[in-house]
Structure 1
Amino acid sequence: MASPNQKIVLITGGNQGVGYETAKNLVLFSQDYHVILGSRDVSKGEAAAKELQATDGIKGTVSSTQIDVTDDQSVDAAALRVASEYGRLDVLVNNAGIVSTASPPTREALRPILETNVVGSLSVTEAFLDLLRKSAHKPPRLVFVSSSTGSITHAADRDSPYYGPGAAEYRASKAALNMLMVMYHARLGPEGFLVFGADPGLCATGFTGDPEALRRRGGAEPWQGGERVASVVKGERDDNVGRVLGVYGVSPF
């Protein structure tokens, strides 16, 4: 159970990959954080939480909750549980996402990617807004885990490392997510919210099902991606609120 002095952080898709590494970074960094790992699969979320709880040097605390960002009932139930157990939320990290590497792009692949990466992020944000407004550690933070591959500026620049036709569905979803982030920044900024996009960069996770292939392409280790997202949560990138923040700085839209 979290103490009143801790910041309550919910990370969707927190049981693996960059979400898990973000949580790990926070709870190893400071006793000030209680991280809730959001997971579609209850058993996987509980196992990840137990693994973090047993990590040497842990300072913060961790728990898990079931949440499928594509299921309205699951999202609303998760919000009710967090309200009942904690009464507030201080940071929401919309991290859950899926990808397709099929080529050429298909409508069958695009629909679930938009449903998860974009609609899911909106659904979770709206469900947890009232709890964020009750944050005990102002300002409340809202973080959308994005990607430089969603930058239209990069995508249109032949000299950019992000130029190319691959992963069209995923890239379109991240471009849409960037717009969603900006709209929340415009809407919630006057209330005192800090809203960001956080780009962990290409990381050798199980996201595509082949972490070694990602590593051969120069992908960073998962802990490095988690560190980049955690830096936004910890307030180290506050000078660029309302922007997408990556390892190289601010990503152009």
Structure 2
Amino acid sequence: MAAKQIVTLITGANQGIGFETAKNLVLSSNAYHVIIGSRDANRGTKAVSELQSLADIKGTLDTVQIDVTDDNSVDRAAEHIQSKYGRLDILVNNAGVNNLNPAVRESMRSIYAVNVIGVASVTEAFLPLLRKSDAPRVVFVSSSMGSIAYASDKNSPYYRPQGIPYRSSKAALNMMIAMYSHSLSLEEKDFKVFGADPGLNATNLVGDAASLRARGAVEPYVGGGIIAAVAKGERDADVGRVCSIDGVVEW
């Protein structure tokens, strides 16, 4: 890793949108050193190997084992990055889950463990490393499905009483974006906090990418491109908001 590279951690990056975000960054510039965060260490290593095999790769890569639902795993990952790099410039909170479990209580517990509590755990663990960066940036991967404004608008495609656990988890995440953006902006460091809405992508989020594709989902590189654009500073005019391909998502 070159001394001047931008050290970037992406959680849940061994597949799907996180993987495509990493790919976008390392193909775009040699300025990025991307750390693939993966719950399964072997899958993280495999993802790094796949990206390193790209003929036109410019940036560099590493991986770290991190299970966002396990505070000990999160803390070990932070300690490892502290020891190896001494700072973190960009944190992309990408790891997320959804399920179709009809038992709402069970579904809420499992989804919130990753999408809300896990995100908070990771953010808090890595704030000390972000504070050592000259230009710290945090990107929370959110969704238009978490917009209360859209969910309440009868003319919106999101006006439908479905997916309460997942959608409410993203609404909670949106509040975290607003609160972290406000609190961190009060510090001396030039913290920038964003949300990024990748849209509906054909991933394994619900275990059936084909069904999502049949519903009109785009390929994961599209969503990865949106997140990468935020990470690279292309959406800085929308700091503190949730950025989508169409503009800014209403809260």
TM-score bin (small chain): over 0.9
Establish whether residue 162 from structure 1 lines up as the match of residue 158 from structure 2: yes
Q: Following the alignment from structure 2 to structure 1, what is the Cα–Cα distance between the partners of residues 100 and 158? A: 15
Q: How does 1:145-156 map to 2 (within 5 A)?
A: 145-156=141-152
For the 8 Å contact 1:33–1:60, the answer to whether it is kept is yes
- 1:106-145 Cα distance to aligned partner (Å, 9 max, x none): 101101111110111110011010100111xx32100100
1:239 — aligned with what?
A: 237
Secondary structure of the corresponding residue to residue 98 of structure 1: coil
Report % sequence identity.
57
Q: Which runs of 4+ in 1 moved over 3 A?
A: none
**Which moves more between the two structures, 186-195 or 29-38?**
186-195
Q: Following the alignment from structure 2 to structure 1, what is the Cα–Cα distance between the partners of residues 186 and 3? A: 26
Q: Following the alignment from structure 1 to structure 2, what is the Cα–Cα distance between the partners of residues 233 and 244? A: 13
1:252 — aligned with what?
A: 250
1:213 — aligned with what?
A: 211
1:76 — aligned with what?
A: 75
Establish whether residue 204 from structure 1 lines up as the match of residue 221 from structure 2: no
- 1:207-245 Cα distance to aligned partner (Å, 9 max, x none): 111111111111111000000000000000000100001
> Of the candidates 153, 169, 175, which is equivalent to residue 173 of structure 1?
169
Q: Give the residue type in structure 1 aligned to 2:44.
A: G
Aligned residues: 249
Q: Following the alignment from structure 1 to structure 2, what is the Cα–Cα distance between the partners of residues 166 and 204? A: 19
Q: Give the residue type in structure 1 aligned to 2:202.
A: A
1:108 — aligned with what?
A: 106
For the 8 Å contact 1:102–1:167, the answer to whether it is kept is no
Q: Following the alignment from structure 2 to structure 1, what is the Cα–Cα distance between the partners of residues 205 and 96? A: 9
Q: Following the alignment from structure 2 to structure 1, what is the Cα–Cα distance between the partners of residues 114 and 79? A: 21
1:93 — aligned with what?
A: 92
CA RMSD of aligned residues (A): 0.9
Establish whether residue 16 from structure 1 lines up as the match of residue 12 from structure 2: no
Q: Give the residue type in structure 2 aligned to 1:177.
A: L
Q: Following the alignment from structure 1 to structure 2, what is the Cα–Cα distance between the partners of residues 247 and 160? A: 17
Q: Following the alignment from structure 2 to structure 1, what is the Cα–Cα distance between the partners of residues 47 and 32? A: 16
Secondary structure of the corresponding residue to residue 188 of structure 1: helix
Q: Give the residue type in structure 1 aligned to 2:138.
A: L
For the 8 Å contact 1:101–1:166, the answer to whether it is kept is no
1:228 — aligned with what?
A: 226
Secondary structure of the corresponding residue to residue 27 of structure 1: helix
> Of the candidates 191, 194, 209, which is equivalent to residue 193 of structure 1?
191
Q: Following the alignment from structure 2 to structure 1, what is the Cα–Cα distance between the partners of residues 237 and 100? A: 34
Q: Following the alignment from structure 1 to structure 2, what is the Cα–Cα distance between the partners of residues 160 and 216? A: 21
2:32 — aligned with what?
A: 33
**Unpaired segments of 5 or more residues in structure 1?**
none
Secondary structure of the corresponding residue to residue 186 of structure 2: helix
Q: Following the alignment from structure 2 to structure 1, what is the Cα–Cα distance between the partners of residues 55 and 221? A: 16
